[in-house]
Structures are given as C-alpha cells and as structure tokens.
Chains A and B, each alone.
Chain A
Amino acid sequence: MTQKKARRNYGWLLLVPAGIWYLVFFLIPSLFPLVFSFAQSDPTGGIFLRDFSVDNYARFLDCNFAAWSQLGECIYLKVFWQTIVFAVLGTLGCLVLAYPLAYFLATRVGKWRTTLLVLIIIPFWTSFLIRTYAWVVLLADQGLINSFLVDLGILADDARIPMLYNPFAVYLGIIYNYLPLMIFPLYVSLERLDKTLLEASKDLGANRLATFRNITLQLTAPGLFTGILLTFIPLTGEYIIPAILGGSKTLLMGNLVANQFLQARDWAFGSASSVMLIAILVVFILIWYRFSEGQSVEVA
C-alpha cells in the first residue's frame, strides 16, 4: 500500500518541470496575441490597447451575403476550410507512404533497424530551404527531370511535364517533409507488437488481412493516432512549402497569419486569426481524444 501511494506522488511531481517551462515560455507569451486579438491595430503595426472588442473575430467569421458574387463570400472561413482540406489530404498521403515503411522497419529488419531509422531523418539535417530548392531544381519545367527526359528524346522540348508550381509539387513537398513525423510514432508503436500474437492468429486460421485488422491495427492504435495528429496539426500551419513549390498561388492559414502580421501590419486581426485556428483545432483534438480513449484496446 505504501508503495502504491509513493508512486502516485511521483507521478504528480514529474509534471512540474514541464509545467513550469510551458507556463513561462509558452502560456505567458501567448497572452500577448490573446490580448491583442481583442484590441485594435495601429495602422503602422503594433497595437492600441484601447477598447475591448470582438471586432476581429467578427471579421474573421464574416460572410458578406449582401454582395452574393465572387467578391462577397466568407473570405477567411474559406481560407480556413482550404487549409483543413489541404492538411487532411497531406496527412493521408503521409500515412499511406509511411505505414508500410514503418511496418517493414518494425517487423522485418533486425540489426540495421536503428540505422535505417536515423537514415530517414538525416536528410533533414541539411537545411529545409536547400532540400526544397533541390526539388525545385528537379521538378521545374526547365529542371533536371524534364531536361533529362527531353535529352533522351522521350519528351518534346515544348511538351515538358508541369511538375512544379502546382498541387502535385506541393503534396510531394509536404509528404517529403512530414514523413518523419508520421513514421516515428508509427514505428515506435509497431515495434512493440508481440510477434507471437501474430503467429497465434495465423495458427488459429486467420488470413493476413484479418490478422492485420484485428491484431496489428488495434494494438498499435496509439501510434497511428499520434502519428496522424502530429502530422495533421503542424500541417494546418504550414505555408512555406506551398509558397515555394506551389508558386504561392494558394492562401492557407499560415500565409494569412503571416501576412496579417507583416504585410498588413494588422497585429490584432492576425492574433484573432491565430487564436481561432488554435481554438478550433484544440477543441477538435480534445473531442478526438475523448472518442479514442474509450475505444482503445488494453494490452492483455
């Protein structure tokens, strides 16, 4: 009994260092944009802390139904929606690409496992810009892949494949850069899978698909769940990859917030947009956690 009590005390203590860190270096600084979102912007940048108002939020949610034309729609909600769609598709792409690899590494590879994992992440120690511009070099109309194909005679010079400055390039770049965020949680969870369970399932007559669905997927759900969230969440704030690889022809929430703070010098509205994004996503996550916590299978 005494030992159980001691363990519980420890649990609480362990949260203190992180708690303090988050409080000081995140929550307190985050008060700035929160307060700003209820204030007015100085047209030359900065804030007037004059009146408390929810104008900025109203503006974000505003749909100008009066002018029912292309110019009169929900300007910012549209951007928000496009961002969500983009993030969902990107996450799906990452998942499809990452799962087989994570599965392979976790179950088929022995001595080289750690090395192969580290090899996944080494490209990311070259600068993000360098990697992304290397893709530009590869994918451009006048870039290496097209030029290579033209030189070989497979393509005509004026019939080059447009692989850059379009959604294809953007999703390629997304998947490329977010793969580790998806692979690592998946791997970490898959690695713990007890092979004997798989054997037992086979012995009991289940085919591979059934085994996968009933055993693997269920038992490694936490990893899947974490991987999806860890990829989806940062994706909602991503804007640099669509700018460089997509020709900056779309506007996502990340662009919006950056533009408001910089180009428009509208800190108040930028803060409000940011707070909206965070609030909506956090609510969504908490709901998903509620939902999934009740569904997860306890390891026997």
Chain B
Amino acid sequence: MNDRDLERLLHARRVTRRGFIYITGMGSAAAFLAACGGPSVSPTSAPPTSAPAAATNASAAPTNAGATNAPAPTTAAAGKVEDELFLYNWAEYVNPDNIDAFSKANNVKVTLSFFESNEDALAKVEAGGTGYDVLAPTGYMVQIMADKGLLMPLDLSRIPNFKYMGAEFAKGRPHDPDNKWSVTKDWGTTGIAWNSDKIKEEITSLDDFWKLAPKYSGKIAMMDSSPEIIGLTLKYLGYPYNSCDQKQLDEALNKLLELKPHIKAFDSSYFDLLSTDEVWMSFAWNGDVFNANSKRKDAGKPESIQYVIAKEGGELWEDDWVILKDAPHPNAAYAWINFILDPQNQAKESDFTYYASGEDEAKQYMDEEVTKNPAIYPSDEVLAKLEAAQVLPGDCTQYREELYTKLKSA
C-alpha cells in the first residue's frame, strides 16, 4: 500500500463524474457553438483599416458600378457577381489597395490564403475541395495544372482588359500559347544579388560568383529550391537551363559541391540575410532586391544591394492568374482578373511588388524608379539570354531531385 497515493487522494478534492462531464461538456459546447453558431466573421484581407469596408451586407444587392479609379469598364458579367472571392497566392504579392478597391466596387468580400510553394498549392488543389477561386501559380505549374484538368478554361471575352496585354504575353507563351488557361500576372528574372558596400569587385557573371566564393566564404547564400540552383549552375557550365543530360547534371553537382563549403545557408528568404549583412552575395529573384534594400533603409544601412543577370544567362519566369475548375465563385473570379488587368491597377501592382507587368500600357502609370530600373525591366539583349523553366519528364525530375539530395546530404 503506497502511502503517497493515499495522501494524495485524501488531500486532493475528488473529481466527481458530474464535475468532469460538466466541465469538458461546457468547454466543448462553448467551443462548438463558437465554431458553428454565432455570426461568423470571415477574415478579410490583411489591410488593418479594411474591416468596415470589406464586411459584407448580405442583403445588399451587388452592383456593377464602375470601379472607383479605373476608367475601363468592369466585366460584362455572364452572371451576377457573387459576394465572395477566395484568392490563393504567394504572401504579400498583391497590392492591398487593389483588393480594397475591387472589394468596394463590386461588393465582394475577398479572402486571401497563402501557399509556400507551387507544389504546396498543387498538392492541395489536386486533392480537391479546397474552396479557392483564383490562384497565382508560376508558369510551369499552370501547364501542370491544366494537364491535370484542374483549371477552368478562360473565356477571354469576359476579360475585356486583356486587350492591354503586351504582345509577348498575349500569345505564344510556351506554357500556355493560346491563353486558354491563364493570363500573365507579372514576370521576373533570376540572377545574382550582391552587396556593393561589402564586395568591392563588380559581379557580372556566374563565373565571378564561383571565383569570389572562397574569398567571401561564409558570406554566400542561395534560394532553397532545386530548379533554380541546378538551372543556374547548368547555365554557368554553358548547358541549357532545362537539361536532362545526366553527364551535364553530374558536372553541375560537382560544381555545386565545390561551392557548398562556402555557402552560409540555403534559404528562400535570402533577402533577409542580405539585408542584415549576414551574407554579401546570393542567387536571387529580381524583386527581392528591392525588399532587401528597403529593409536596409529601415535599419539605417546603405541601400547597396545590386542585382545583375549573369552573362551566362538566367531564368525568365512569370506568374499567372488562373481560375480553378471547381471555383465556387466564377463570376467574381472573372471580375477580379479583369479588374487587375486594368493598366492603372497593374501599375499599382508593380509599384508594390517591384515585379514587371505584362502590359506595356501600364508603364505610363508606374513610378519612374520602377520602369527605369534594369533589374525590373531589363533590356532586350539581356532578356535574350534568359530561359524559362519547363515541365520536365518524370525520370529527369527524379534525377535532378537525386542530385539535390546528394548535394544536401554531402
């Protein structure tokens, strides 16, 4: 007989059956009622002041009045625009002002959800039943999703503002030549970013990157994403970005293994590292450079992050708007896409995200610092050196992934 137990029993109060059930029951009841009953508040998008504006009056009739700031007409709606819209997107990738304006103009409650990577989004969308309407995946993912029958074919007549789309983006895009599934949201490049305050050498090529690595060992980063890492290394060796040649890929692995001891971190938020001077040189997506510099400005540091597209070449990518096949609010989806394709709204997007728009028309409304910046709008000769990432055949993806595994576990 354990006296401890006895003491414990006699000192503590008994938990009666009534008490236990009462408490857990109340707790659960409370929680359930909270979850199901009561007025449900769907989250609106991020902007702090939008709560009153974006909250829906369920009884109010949705109007198709013209948007407050865009001169272009809104959608010739095939049906009434629903009162809700669910966007699935990268974080901080849409100007909150645009969401606000759209919301007010069409009386639509917009809900933003974020994904971490294209593949994350694919996994969820493929499994189905997600409730999202509009997505913003990268080009190659559009092709994959279309092949899997996950997307709604676009009726371009419902997107009048499509007429503003630049020639290269209105037809002939490799992943969606006839714009059957997608319209361009924005586009960008992948190159090299470096801190000119700390690195006195001028970096213009991937060769420079590899040559300077031992000197600046421990001050280098790259994004944690195998297509870019492998692709850029292939370009460095003079091979195609999308090469499936095993010999070429093995060479690329060796080159990367050379670099690995000098790499501080593989991190897709490398711009944070650049902004705090933790690293001085990194593979980069062009828009991130502005992010890094604005952070440096906040911290009182010189805005010395430079961006260059390597001599050997780089990647040209674009993100697109698509509508999911089982979108619960298709009319609102069309309205949104048409709204965002208005040149003035495109300009607002570019001013916010620092990524180029597919519409030349939009440039006139943009900040000069955006349109004149070669990191955002590179010259044609530079553009010619870039390749787009493609959807690769299964065994090629497999081989590349193995490469990535070997690189990381070395």
Across the interface, do B408 and A249 meet the contact criterion of CB distance under 8 Å? yes
Across the interface, do B397 and A264 meet the contact criterion of CB distance under 8 Å? yes
Q: Does A131 contact B (CB under 8 A)?
A: no
Across the interface, do B148 and A46 meet the contact criterion of CB distance under 8 Å? yes
Chain B: minimal CB distance from A270 (Å): 10
- CB contacts (< 8 Å) of A42 on chain B: these are 394
Q: Does B130 contact A (CB under 8 A)?
A: no
B292-304, CB under 8 A of A: which get 1 and which 0? 0000000000000
Across the interface, do B267 and A247 meet the contact criterion of CB distance under 8 Å? yes
- CB contacts (< 8 Å) of B3 on chain A: these are 194, 196
- Say which one of A74-82, A95-103, A226-234 lies at the interface with B: A74-82
Complex: chain A residue closest to B409, CB-CB: A251
Across the interface, do B265 and A165 meet the contact criterion of CB distance under 8 Å? yes
Across the interface, do B405 and A75 meet the contact criterion of CB distance under 8 Å? yes
Complex: chain A residue closest to B117, CB-CB: A262
- CB contacts (< 8 Å) of A132 on chain B: these are none
Chain B: minimal CB distance from A64 (Å): 10
Q: Does A256 contact B (CB under 8 A)?
A: yes
Q: Does B240 contact A (CB under 8 A)?
A: no
Across the interface, do A248 and B265 meet the contact criterion of CB distance under 8 Å? yes
Chain B: minimal CB distance from A27 (Å): 19
Find residues 224-268 in chain A having any chain B CB closer than 8 Å to their own CB.
243, 247-251, 255-256, 259-266
Q: Does A142 contact B (CB under 8 A)?
A: yes
- Complex: A70 Cα to B401 Cα, angstroms: 16
- Complex: A75 Cα to B405 Cα, angstroms: 8
- CB contacts (< 8 Å) of A75 on chain B: these are 402, 405-406, 409
B222-241, CB under 8 A of A: which get 1 and which 0? 00111000000000000000
Q: Does A37 contact B (CB under 8 A)?
A: no
Q: Does A202 contact B (CB under 8 A)?
A: no
- CB contacts (< 8 Å) of A248 on chain B: these are 224, 265-267, 408
Q: Does A123 contact B (CB under 8 A)?
A: no
One of A192, A251, A262, A299 near B123 (C-beta < 8 A) = A262
- CB contacts (< 8 Å) of B117 on chain A: these are 262-263
Across the interface, do A43 and B393 meet the contact criterion of CB distance under 8 Å? yes
B398-410, CB under 8 A of A: which get 1 and which 0? 1001101110111
- Complex: A41 Cα to B263 Cα, angstroms: 33
- Complex: A277 Cα to B79 Cα, angstroms: 52
One of A71, A79, A261, A266 near B398 (C-beta < 8 A) = A266
Across the interface, do B406 and A265 meet the contact criterion of CB distance under 8 Å? no
The main secondary structure of chain A at its interface with chain B is: loop
Across the interface, do A71 and B267 meet the contact criterion of CB distance under 8 Å? no
Across the interface, do B401 and A264 meet the contact criterion of CB distance under 8 Å? yes
Given A71-B250, A82-B409, A249-B265, also A43-B277 (CB < 8 A) = no
- Complex: A243 Cα to B268 Cα, angstroms: 11
One of A44, A243, A249, A269 near B144 (C-beta < 8 A) = A44
Across the interface, do A45 and B266 meet the contact criterion of CB distance under 8 Å? no
One of B260, B392, B404 near A249 (C-beta < 8 A) = B260
Across the interface, do B405 and A43 meet the contact criterion of CB distance under 8 Å? no
Across the interface, do A78 and B264 meet the contact criterion of CB distance under 8 Å? no
- Complex: A93 Cα to B287 Cα, angstroms: 41
- Complex: A72 Cα to B276 Cα, angstroms: 39
Q: How many A-B residue pairs have CB under 8 A?
A: 101
- Complex: A86 Cα to B266 Cα, angstroms: 19
Given A43-B394, A263-B119, also A247-B265 (CB < 8 A) = yes
- Complex: A162 Cα to B217 Cα, angstroms: 13
Complex: chain A residue closest to B396, CB-CB: A43
- Complex: A222 Cα to B393 Cα, angstroms: 52
Complex: chain A residue closest to B261, CB-CB: A249
Across the interface, do B408 and A255 meet the contact criterion of CB distance under 8 Å? yes
B376-400, CB under 8 A of A: which get 1 and which 0? 0000000000000001111001100
- CB contacts (< 8 Å) of A140 on chain B: these are 276, 278
Q: Does B309 contact A (CB under 8 A)?
A: no
Q: Does B245 contact A (CB under 8 A)?
A: no
- Complex: A196 Cα to B147 Cα, angstroms: 72
- CB contacts (< 8 Å) of B126 on chain A: these are 45-46
Across the interface, do B405 and A45 meet the contact criterion of CB distance under 8 Å? no
Chain A: minimal CB distance from B158 (Å): 28
B176-190, CB under 8 A of A: which get 1 and which 0? 000000000000000
Across the interface, do B4 and A194 meet the contact criterion of CB distance under 8 Å? yes
Across the interface, do B218 and A243 meet the contact criterion of CB distance under 8 Å? no
- Complex: A43 Cα to B394 Cα, angstroms: 4
One of B147, B224, B263 near A44 (C-beta < 8 A) = B147
Across the interface, do A259 and B405 meet the contact criterion of CB distance under 8 Å? yes
- CB contacts (< 8 Å) of B263 on chain A: these are 247, 249
- Complex: A159 Cα to B117 Cα, angstroms: 37
- Complex: A70 Cα to B250 Cα, angstroms: 11
Q: Does B94 contact A (CB under 8 A)?
A: no
B255-275, CB under 8 A of A: which get 1 and which 0? 001001001111100000000
Q: Does B253 contact A (CB under 8 A)?
A: yes
Given A142-B278, A248-B266, also A263-B123 (CB < 8 A) = no
Chain B: minimal CB distance from A139 (Å): 11
- Complex: A247 Cα to B394 Cα, angstroms: 29
Chain A: minimal CB distance from B36 (Å): 20
- CB contacts (< 8 Å) of A264 on chain B: these are 397-398, 401
One of A76, A243, A265, A299 near B405 (C-beta < 8 A) = A76
- Complex: A262 Cα to B406 Cα, angstroms: 17
Q: Does B120 contact A (CB under 8 A)?
A: yes
Find residues 28-49 in chain A having any chain B CB closer than 8 Å to their own CB.
41-46
A182-202, CB under 8 A of B: which get 1 and which 0? 000000000010111000000
Known contacts A43-B393, A259-B404; can you find 12 more A-B pairs with CB under 8 A? Answer: A42-B394, A44-B391, A46-B126, A78-B409, A142-B276, A142-B277, A162-B218, A248-B224, A248-B267, A248-B408, A250-B409, A262-B120
Q: Could you list 29 examples of A-B contacts with CB < 8 Å?
A: A43-B392, A44-B144, A44-B391, A70-B257, A75-B406, A79-B405, A165-B265, A195-B4, A196-B3, A243-B224, A247-B265, A249-B408, A250-B408, A251-B405, A251-B409, A259-B226, A259-B401, A259-B404, A259-B405, A261-B123, A262-B120, A263-B225, A263-B404, A264-B397, A265-B119, A265-B122, A266-B397, A269-B398, A299-B2
Q: Which 3 A-B pairs have the closest CB atoms?
A: A247-B265, A43-B394, A251-B408
Name A residues whose Cβ lies closer than 8 Å to a Cβ of B: 41-46, 70-71, 75-76, 78-79, 82, 140-142, 162, 165, 192, 194-196, 243, 247-251, 255-256, 259-266, 269, 299
